[in-house]
Amino acid sequence: MVLIRDVLDKKLIDREDCDMGRVSGLLMHVGENTQPRVTHILIGGPTLWMRVNPFLGRISKRLGRMWGPKRSEPVRIPWSRVETVGRGIKLDVVAKETGALDWELWLAKNVIEHIPGGGSEEEE
Amino acid sequence: MKRFLAVPLLLAVACKPPTPAEQMDTIVSWIATARMAGDASLRRTTPDKYTRQTLELSDRMLLQSGSELLKSPPPAIDSADFAKVLIRTRFQIKEMARLVEQKAAPEFRQPWDSLGIYEKIVKQASDRIDSSR
Amino acid sequence: MKKILQLSLGIITSVGGFLEIGSVTTSAQAGAQFGYQLLWPLLFGTICLVFLVEMSGRLAAVSKHTVVGAMRERFGFPFFFVVSVGITIVVFMVLIAELGGIAFSLQMLTGIGFPWWALPVSLVVWLLMWKGTFSLIEYGASLLGLVTISFAVAAFRLHPDWAAVASGFLPSMPHSDKARYGFLTVSILGATISPYLMYFYSSGAIEEKWDRSYVVMNRIIAGFGMFFGGFLAMAVLIAAALAFQPMGIQVNTFPQAALLMTTALPKWGFYLFALSMLFACFGAALEISLAIAYFFAQGLGWNWSQNLEPSKNARFAFVYTVIIIVAAIPLMFGVDPIKVTMMSMALTSATLPFAIIPFLFLMNDPIYLGKYRNGWLSNAVVAIVVLLSFVLALISVPLEIVGG
């Protein structure tokens, strides 16, 4: 597996086939006498913006604390939860429980559902 | 050095005013627009509100373009005569706009016919400017 | 039968590309000022677009990735960010122009000034996005867009000299106004080869659940659709050459363009023009709003589909809601949509390289396309368009200033 080609920026899908976003970054453990290994997948704005420019990453963190679900840290998914890596990355998690959909749920609850015809996120 | 000169040169070219020939083309265009809109109205193929609005727009654009041209008129035309022609042209267009609004269709034809005559005069002036270039 | 109905995806894509306010007014300007001399960039742009749109559809059908999704995965977020800045600015301006086109058409029909129509028009566009499914938008806009066939009828009724028309398909320089000719050439190409068309088409292919069995049909749809739009844009140019050029009318405003068919179709020409622009700009506004929402949703990995309730893809719905409402604001203050569209076409040309270069890589990547990768002809066309896009990017803004 080539991490940048096969993992980074790939789509993430949860146990229920729900879209969870894309891999923004990877957390690796680099030990003194061990091979580097991926420990977590990162999902979230600050990580993405850090890749463009560290200054934008800091701004994103600050804004994330002020608005919406008020989340400034990226979502971390343990690498052990990765089931398959193919067209997308299938994870053994439920998206809503990880925090990856915080913005989606916040917008649905606080904006979209207040507009007539917007429906309800909880309806099946 | 050339690179530094390029930007101000480009701006100088961009900011240059339109030539007399270009200004005259604009004047010809708006008179022709008024004629075509008037013709469509005579044949009852366009709504009256559209015709009035287009004639009023033509009048405004003629005032603007005419003033620009007469600020520094080209030698090929007599500026005093041309100013009179423009005033009369605009008068015909304003008459047409007034008569459309009043739904006086038969009376509409007279200023429209007169506009045709002024259109020819302006086109001749335009041709003189083109041939003097 | 279902596959034949998919032709509507091709039609709506081309309506948004060719028959929206920018393309129609540019074609009318080109015909009015230079006769048939600018038919060649329309033909060239159409052919390039057929190839690019076909590739977008093939990528979606085979890899189940949209162009944007594949671009994000292959080129990473920093590249996606750069493209997103350019595409957001361009799409925003084009949307202002399209909403303005609908508003102007209503002004032609009712006499009520277009700023008054800006908000109601935006609300109707938004409502259709909010409540409508992809199929409703696709079929509805395509069906209504068929009224634009009146442009072709008008052109034929003016009895053009077909030999002279044919000579317009070969590039030639005019005797005068070379800067203006250059500007219109760039504008036509920029208006034709618009990246958001490819984003929309590939998203539509996913919405319609295309698979490998659609590969051949995709070629037919892309070819038919784009030539449908291109042919009608050429008809506008030909009609303008015959209706406006002899009179010396330069088409700089919408009210002037509205006279396009009054000679060829005396009784209905004006109303057909107004209705054609109304429905074409409506289809284009829907397409563009969807295209930008698809762009962000696919690039950032959000849940997306026009067939879902808004609350089920909240971020997707939020993007198109915000952009439609914000695009109405300049129009309410009387900003001229024709001026906005001319600027947007120059900017589209300037940002084209970033949109086209990914195709060179994606369409040759065996991971995405396997045996359905580009052949030599498609690669040659992409290479030509990439080169062209760099040239356009360099000259579009200066030409806009000098010749626009």
Give yes or no for a contact between A38 and A50, defined as CB atoms under 8 angstroms apart: no
Beta bridge partners of A26: A41
Neighbouring chains to A with at least 3 Cβ pairs closer than 8 Å: C
For residues C336 and C114, what is the distance between their CA atoms, to the nearest angstrom? 10
The CATH number given to whatever domain includes residue B74 is: 1.20.120
Burial (Cβ within 10 Å: 0-12, 13-18, ≥19) of residue B36: buried
Residue pLDDT, tens place only, A33-64: 888 888 999 998 788 888 888 888 888 888 88
pLDDT attached to residue B14:
47
pLDDT attached to residue A123:
52
Domains of chain C plus CATH, in order, are 2-403 (1.20.1740.10)
Q: Other CB atoms closer than 10 Å to residue C361's CB: what's the count?
A: 14
- Residues near A14 by beta carbon (within 8 Å), at least 6 away in sequence: A20, A91, A93, A94, A95, A98
Question: B25, B29, B43, B51: best mutation site toward chain C, by most C Cβ within 10 Å?
Answer: B29
- Measured in angstroms, the CA of C162 and the nearest CA of chain A are apart by 52
Between chain B and chain C, how many beta carbons pairs sit less than 8 Å apart?
65
Q: 């695009």: which residue's tokens?
A: C327
Residue A25 lies in a domain: yes
Q: Other CB atoms closer than 10 Å to residue A25's CB: what's the count?
A: 20
The CATH number given to whatever domain includes residue A48 is: 2.30.30.240
The Cα-based distances of C294 to A89, C166, C290, C300, C329 in angstroms read 20, 39, 6, 10, 23
Q: Quick one: which of C22, C19, C9 has its CA closest to C339?
A: C22
Residue B5 lies in a domain: no
pLDDT attached to residue C67:
95
- Measured in angstroms, the CA of A22 and the nearest CA of chain C are apart by 5
Residue B43 lies in a domain: yes
Full residue range of the structural domain in which residue A25 is found: 3-114
For residues C163 and A99, what is the distance between their CA atoms, to the nearest angstrom? 66
| Count of domains forming chain B | 1
pLDDT attached to residue C178:
87
Residue B13 lies in a domain: no
- Indicate the pairing of strand A19-22 with strand A82-85: unpaired
Residue pLDDT, tens place only, C289-301: 999 999 999 999 9
Query: Which stretches in chain C have pLDDT values below 70?
Result: 1-5, 397, 400, 403-404
Residue B59 lies in a domain: yes
Strands of the sheet containing A89-91, edge to edge, are A19-22, A11-13, A89-91, A82-85
Burial (Cβ within 10 Å: 0-12, 13-18, ≥19) of residue C137: buried
Question: C247, C273, C394, C395: best mutation site toward chain B, by most B Cβ within 10 Å?
Answer: C247
Full residue range of the structural domain in which residue B95 is found: 20-132
pLDDT attached to residue B15:
52
pLDDT attached to residue B2:
44
- Coil, strand or helix: which one is C169? coil
Residue pLDDT, tens place only, B59-105: 999 999 999 999 888 888 888 999 999 999 999 999 999 999 777 77
The answer on pLDDT for B7 being more than 70 is no
Q: Residues of C with CB below 8 A from B10's CB?
A: 398, 401-402
The answer on pLDDT for A90 being more than 90 is yes
> Is C109 in Cβ contact with B36 (below 8 Å)?
no
Q: 């109304």: which residue's tokens?
A: C278
- Coil, strand or helix: which one is C347? helix
pLDDT attached to residue B4:
45
Give yes or no for a contact between B23 and B69, defined as CB atoms under 8 angstroms apart: yes
Find the residue in B nearest to C402 (Cα). B14
| Count of domains forming chain A | 1
> Is C253 in Cβ contact with B49 (below 8 Å)?
no
A87 → closest Cβ in C64, C78, C318: C64
- Measured in angstroms, the CA of C128 and the nearest CA of chain A are apart by 11
Q: 């429905």: which residue's tokens?
A: C279
pLDDT attached to residue C360:
86
pLDDT attached to residue C186:
86
> Is C253 in Cβ contact with B57 (below 8 Å)?
yes
Residue A119 lies in a domain: no
- Residues near C147 by beta carbon (within 8 Å), at least 6 away in sequence: C272, C275, C276, C279
The answer on pLDDT for A124 being more than 70 is no
The answer on pLDDT for B6 being more than 50 is no
> Is A105 in Cβ contact with C310 (below 8 Å)?
no
Residue B25 lies in a domain: yes
Q: Quick one: which of C133, C130, C131, C91 has its CA closest to C323?
A: C91
Q: What is the average per-residue pLDDT within A56-80?
A: 83
Torsion of CA A50, A53, A59, A65, to 10 degrees: -10
pLDDT attached to residue C328:
96
